[in-house]
Amino acid sequence: MCKIAYVLFLALFSNMATAQNVAITMDDFRLTDDPLLSGKEKDERILKTLAKNKVDIALFVIGSEAEKPLSAQRLAVWNRTNHIIANHTYSHAPYNRIAFQKFSEDILNAETVLSKYQRFQKYFRFTMLKEGDTQDKRDQLRTFLKRQGYKQGYVTIDASDWYVNARLIARLKLNPNADTKPYRDYYLQHIWERTQFYDNLAQKVLGRNVKHTLLIHHNLLNALFLNDLLEMFRGKGWTIISARDAFTDPIFQMEPKIVPAGESILWGLTKETGRFENLLRYPAEDEIYEKDAMDKLGL
């Protein structure tokens, strides 16, 4: 092999070995007015950031929220993009608190509201990523989803952006002029830390890179800092891919046989191996893990 070909081969190979991809998936389309930005302004900013970055995401919508007039108006705008509009139940009740019958009706009720949008696709994401607290409930729902033509809208990288958002809003309510940058910094380091954690699970359990789906929420934090988040990933050498592309990864067909079922798919697959138990906490992500650190920073 001549030297140039060898160098090219090395460059290609090392790129393949380290190529990391992440798609953005956004839950809980809720257009509440917050300090700094109204519901409509938040949505405009999020869509504008995504368009500027040429990033197509999956938006997991709660049916009852979608029925509100402003939400319907804004979903019509989403419907003119290449984003995916997907099902996140009608009432947002978590499956570990209600029976199969009621939960499956809740999914169909959301579909009634959302299926009028052309961008609606049958991806389903469980509320709070709780996929069933008994084996029966878990399996009944998996069968139901397949029969209804749904695919799992699994999360690979779970995090607590919603908690950072809640703390930011609480601060801004006390002091509308509060500096938001420390919240941005905390948010970015938190997402990067959780990304490395879940990517490490992928390497341990699957032995390969996966097309990640990051879970974040439609909220003030992301209206303000989504662009910074995308830039952070790119700065670390990651590629932002579309949610449509990410969902082609075989990991989204997998069904870990664990109880309680749910959390990140990578958490579930790790749990299923019965190994690496020392790496897993339950729930996988929650405010309890962030509270002390944010308290210490005075956030």
Cis status, amide bond into 283, omega within 30 of 0 = yes
- CB-wise, 56 or 161, nearer to Zn ion? 161
CA distance 237 to 217: 23
Q: Of residues 192-251, which lie at the interface with Zn ion (CB under 5 A)?
A: none
Burial group, residue 271, by CB count within 10 angstroms (0-12, 13-18, 19+): buried
Closest to Zn ion by CB, 27 vs 158, is 27
Q: Which is nearer to Zn ion, 26 or 47 (CB)?
A: 26
In the complex, the smallest distance separating the C-beta of residue 86 from Zn ion, rounded to whole angstroms, is 12
> Strands 261-262, 130-132: parallel, antiparallel or unpaired by DSSP?
antiparallel
Task: Please tell me the distance from the alpha carbon of residue 272 to that of residue 266, in angstroms, as a whole number.
Answer: 10
For residue 157, the 8-state DSSP code is B
Tokens of 109: 């009720």
Comparing CB distances to Zn ion, the nearer of 28 and 272 is: 28
Binding mask 260-279 for Zn ion (x = CB under 5 A): --------------------
Among 28, 105, 139, 255, binds Zn ion (CB under 5 A): 28
Q: What is the β-pairing status of strands 21-27 and 211-217?
A: parallel
Q: How far is the CB of 171 from Zn ion (least distance, A)?
A: 23
Q: Which residues contact 7 (CB under 8 A, 6 or more apart)?
A: none
Q: How far is the CB of 241 from Zn ion (least distance, A)?
A: 22
One-letter identity of residue 162: W
**Sole window of 23-31, 45-53, 207-215, 231-239 interacting with Zn ion (rule: CB under 5 A):** 23-31
CA distance readout (Å), 283 to 39, 138, 152, 251: 30, 17, 20, 21
Choose the stretch contacting Zn ion; rule: CB under 5 A; options: 20-28, 150-158, 191-199, 231-239.
20-28
* Ramachandran quadrant class, 184 (left: phi over 0; alpha: psi -120 to 50; beta: rest): alpha
Q: Residue 33: CB partners within 8 Å, gap ≥ 6? A: 39
Q: Quick one: which of 22, 25, 26, 27 contacts Zn ion (CB under 5 A)?
A: 27
Q: How far is the CB of 282 from Zn ion (least distance, A)?
A: 18
- Closest separation between CB of residue 125 and Zn ion, Å? 7
Q: Which is nearer to Zn ion, 27 or 249 (CB)?
A: 27
Cβ contact 142:148 at 8 Å: no
Give the interface size with Zn ion as a residue count (CB under 5 A): 2
Q: How far apart are CB 217 and Zn ion at their closest, in Å?
A: 7
Decide: is 290 part of the binding site for Zn ion (CB under 5 A). no
28-36, 46-54, 74-82, 251-259 -> range binding Zn ion (CB under 5 A):
28-36
Nearest distance, CB of residue 7 and Zn ion, angstroms: 48
Contact residues for Zn ion, defined by CB under 5 A: 27-28
